[in-house]
């Protein structure tokens, strides 16, 4: 991907990022300022409030975002609230903005010369008059310092909101990391850093204006800081009905999301993407109508959601999964796309030949000398437990990587064996050997096109997507994946366009 392609994706993500960060900062201000004033009048309450705000800061921002998901999901059982997207991101980022604003407010108010306060009391000012006329003007420059810190923190942390399905500059940063597309990563990082510096500069001018009592110097920057996000919010008010397409955090999911999106756009739908979601999160999002459509793998639902350990034939598994998601979650499975992306253990060809490894059974004796590299989910998944039980595998060590870095780990000898995906084009490109599974410990992983409960009632949408069923050969999917993950480093849009052409060229059934 070149810079122009990366820049094309920037404007809507930048707008979402500004709107989210500004909303979170505003909510933080609404909470922290009155709490700070109250805290200066009630020191015991102030210690508790500052302690709570400090405690929030000790929670990693990614974990804080993730923690709001199950909380809002539980609340949504009683009140209709979205568990993914803007709301959890807003709440988490607002909590992060509390500490610098609250602490500077308390410090500023407590730092006012007591004689000034006594003078105000002496002329009979009420508490409200004293705050408005005396304390606030004296404290504002210090409070502005806290607001500047909170603004920079919020803009930086907002990039993580992409993990809970909120579009932000993190979308292109995470996608770039997963596909090793450094143009995307740099574009996202530079945009986020530039935005943070611009906002900090605006607030610095406003802070100077407050300190020097020059009204125009603080009114203009604050007006810009308010009007820009307001204009973005107004422009996005009452959007046309939009189909939300979910995707996990690897290239194949990005490509398939674009193929689905293009199919829907050609039929006149507006689409948006929620990418980089975890397996459990994206299925729950589909069940809760936060996502309308995405591609899931039969084996993932079979082992993780249905808690099944038997391994039936693929058609039987696809049928059982379809019945289970409909009965328990109101989700419709339109059917398999035509290829499988199963877990498989793979290793370099020269190592396989040197150790005589062809199957997982052969690996049992060799495992104590080898290190297993796995994606971030695999070591906690039931499939890994089933493989270990079936073949008594005891590796020298295990290491977790983002999916795209597992292959680099083999080349750098940080791992000897990896948990590969069978539709990954890098298996053939890198000359890897996939170990066979003679004891059938690994279930089938047909790619299934799932539709959420609300969208399932849209017959036109179902008819639009049905042509994708059984339309994608595994060789075509591998080629598209390799376009993104291999030396070509094509964009997911380009790979999706190639895959769509391959589907169109496929002989009619």
Q: pLDDT per residue over 67-125, tens digit each?
A: 887 788 778 778 777 777 888 899 999 998 999 999 999 999 998 888 888 888 888 88
CA dist 232 → 15, 81, 166, 222, 409 (Å): 7, 22, 15, 16, 43
Percent of the chain with pLDDT over 90: 43
Last residue of a domain, one of 404, 435, 466: 435
Q: Report long-range pairs for 256-261 (Cβ below 8 Å, ≥24 apart).
A: 256/295, 256/337, 256/447, 256/496, 257/294, 257/295, 258/492, 258/493, 258/495, 258/496, 259/468, 259/496, 259/499, 259/500, 259/503, 260/293, 260/295, 260/449, 260/465, 260/468
In this prediction, residue 252 has a pLDDT band, given cuts at 50, 70 and 90, of very high
pLDDT score at 329: 92
CB 485 within 8 A of CB 424: yes
Per-residue pLDDT tens digits for 344-389: 899 999 999 999 999 999 999 999 999 999 887 788 888 888 899 8
Specify whether 31 is located in the same domain as 89.
yes
Residue identified by tokens 């404290």 is 139
Per-residue pLDDT for 1 more than 60? no
The pair of three-digit structure tokens given for residue 337, joined into one six-digit string: 């796309």
Specify whether 218 is located in the same domain as 249.
no
Provide the CATH number for the domain around residue 453: 3.40.190.10
Nearest to 282 by CA among 157, 91, 450: 450
Specify whether 335 is located in the same domain as 348.
no
Specify whether 63 is located in the same domain as 147.
yes
Specify whether 168 is located in the same domain as 68.
yes
Total structural domains within the chain: 3
Domain that holds residue 361: 343-435
pLDDT score at 235: 66
Specify whether 74 is located in the same domain as 182.
yes
**What is the C-alpha to C-alpha distance for residues 432 and 415, in angstroms, rounded to an integer?**
13
Specify whether 396 is located in the same domain as 501.
no
For the segment 37-57, the average pLDDT, to the nearest whole number, is: 90
Per-residue pLDDT for 240 more than 70? no
Specify whether 126 is located in the same domain as 9.
yes
Provide the CATH number for the domain around residue 404: 3.40.190.120
Side-by-side strand order, sheet with 332-340 = 270-274, 242-246, 293-297, 446-451, 332-340
**What is the C-alpha to C-alpha distance for residues 174 and 276, in angstroms, rounded to an integer?**
7
Per-residue pLDDT for 239 more than 70? no
Specify whether 348 is located in the same domain as 337.
no
In this prediction, residue 316 has a pLDDT band, given cuts at 50, 70 and 90, of very high
Specify whether 198 is located in the same domain as 61.
yes
For the segment 394-417, the average pLDDT, to the nearest whole number, is: 87
Residues 6+ apart with CB under 8 A from 91: 68
**What is the C-alpha to C-alpha distance for residues 198 and 482, in angstroms, rounded to an integer?**
38
- Please indicate, yes or no, whether the overall pTM of this predicted structure exceeds 0.85: no
Nearest to 509 by CA among 339, 338, 258: 338
Q: How, if at all, do strands 446-451 and 332-340 pair?
A: antiparallel
CB 205 within 8 A of CB 217: yes
Last residue of a domain, one of 203, 235, 267: 235
Specify whether 327 is located in the same domain as 406.
no
Last residue of a domain, one of 235, 266, 288: 235
Per-residue pLDDT tens digits for 412-434: 889 999 998 888 888 888 889 99
Specify whether 332 is located in the same domain as 366.
no
Number of H helices and E strands in the chain, helices first, is 24, 10
**What is the C-alpha to C-alpha distance for residues 343 and 198, in angstroms, rounded to an integer?**
45
Sign of the alpha-carbon dihedral angle for 461, 463, 466, 468: negative
**What is the C-alpha to C-alpha distance for residues 407 and 432, in angstroms, rounded to an integer?**
10
Provide the CATH number for the domain around residue 215: 1.10.3720.10
Per-residue pLDDT for 465 more than 90? yes
Per-residue pLDDT for 224 more than 80? no
| 459 CB burial (10 A radius; 0-12, 13-18, 19+) | exposed
294 strand-pairing partners = 450
């Amino acid at each position: 991907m070149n810079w122009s392609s990366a820049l094309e994706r920037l404007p809507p993500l930048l707008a979402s990022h500004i709107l989210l960060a500004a909303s979170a900062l505003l909510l933080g201000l609404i909470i922290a300022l009155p709490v700070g004033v109250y805290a200066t009048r009630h020191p015991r309450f102030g210690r508790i409030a500052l302690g709570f705000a400090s405690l929030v800061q000790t929670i990693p921002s990614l974990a804080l975002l993730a923690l709001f998901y199950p909380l809002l999901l539980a609340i949504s059982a009683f009140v209709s609230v979205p568990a993914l997207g803007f709301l959890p991101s807003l709440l988490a980022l607002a909590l992060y903005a509390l500490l610098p604003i609250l602490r500077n407010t308390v410090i500023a108010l407590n730092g006012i010369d007591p004689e000034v306060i006594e003078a105000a009391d002496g002329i009979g000012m009420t508490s409200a008059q004293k705050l408005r006329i005396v304390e606030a003007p004296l404290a504002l420059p210090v409070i502005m310092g806290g607001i500047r810190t909170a603004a920079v923190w919020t803009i930086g942390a907002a990039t993580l909101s992409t993990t809970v399905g909120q579009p932000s500059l993190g979308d292109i940063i995470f996608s770039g990391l997963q596909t090793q597309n450094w143009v995307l990563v740099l574009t996202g990082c530079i945009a986020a850093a530039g935005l943070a510096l611009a906002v900090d500069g605006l607030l610095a001018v406003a802070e100077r204006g407050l300190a020097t009592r020059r009204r125009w110097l603080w009114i203009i920057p604050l007006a810009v800081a308010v009007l820009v996000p307001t204009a973005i919010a107004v422009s996005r008010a009452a959007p046309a009905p939009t189909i939300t397409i979910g995707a996990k955090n690897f290239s194949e999911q990005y490509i398939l999301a674009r193929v689905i999106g293009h199919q829907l756009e050609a039929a006149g739908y507006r689409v948006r993407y929620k990418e980089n979601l975890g397996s459990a999160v994206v299925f729950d999002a589909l069940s809760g109508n936060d996502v309308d459509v995405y591609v899931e793998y039969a084996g993932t639902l079979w082992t993780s959601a249905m808690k099944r350990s038997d391994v039936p034939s693929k058609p039987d598994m696809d049928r059982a999964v379809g019945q289970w998601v409909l009965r328990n979650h109101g989700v419709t499975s339109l059917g398999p796309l035509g290829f499988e992306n199963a877990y498989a253990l793979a290793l370099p060809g020269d190592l396989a030949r040197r150790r005589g490894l062809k199957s997982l059974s052969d690996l049992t004796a060799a495992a104590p000398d080898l290190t297993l590299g796995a994606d971030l989910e695999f070591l906690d998944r039931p499939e890994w437990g089933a493989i270990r039980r079936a073949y008594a595998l005891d590796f020298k060590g295990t290491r977790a990587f983002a999916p795209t870095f597992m292959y680099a780990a083999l080349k750098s000898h940080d791992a000897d064996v990896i948990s590969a995906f069978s539709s990954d084009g890098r298996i053939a490109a890198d000359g890897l050997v996939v170990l066979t599974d003679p004891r059938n410990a690994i279930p089938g992983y047909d790619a299934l096109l799932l539709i959420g409960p609300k969208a399932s009632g849209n017959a036109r949408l179902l008819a639009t997507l049905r042509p994708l069923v059984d339309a994608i050969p595994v060789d075509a999917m591998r080629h598209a994946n390799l376009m993104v993950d291999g030396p070509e480093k094509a964009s997911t849009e380009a790979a999706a366009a190639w895959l769509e052409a391959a589907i169109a060229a496929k002989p009619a059934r």
